[in-house]
Amino acid sequence: MTVRMGQLMHVYPDQYDEYERRHNNLFPEMRKALKEAGAHNYSIFLDKKTGNLFAYLEVDNIEKYNAIAGSAACKKWWAYMEPIMDTNADQSPVTLNLHEVFHLD
């Protein structure tokens, strides 16, 4: 069963271009980890007025996807992204998971 996920994050206003550049050059091991975790149809949108990011992705298995946080690839990516966005003590992005209230196929 596919799970649709929406998340909010925040990038620092002077780092918009860098945030996009880094995602356009996603580490191959991070891309592989996401694919192996069943993530697909993944997009991130930026509100340039606020620095707010909206991420949308679909996953095949939420537990398998959540396990990616323990991977070396993910920890490396988080450390790389930490200087340009709001992060937690473990360098993971501060993320607000959204509740889906409507979907139209």
Instruction: Decide if 23 is catalytic.
Output: yes
**5, β-bridge pairs:** 57
Q: Which of 23, 40, 99, 103 is catalytic?
A: 23
Distances (CA, A) of 33 to 70, 100, 105: 11, 25, 28
Tell me the two tokens of residue 78.
């988080």
Active site residues: 23
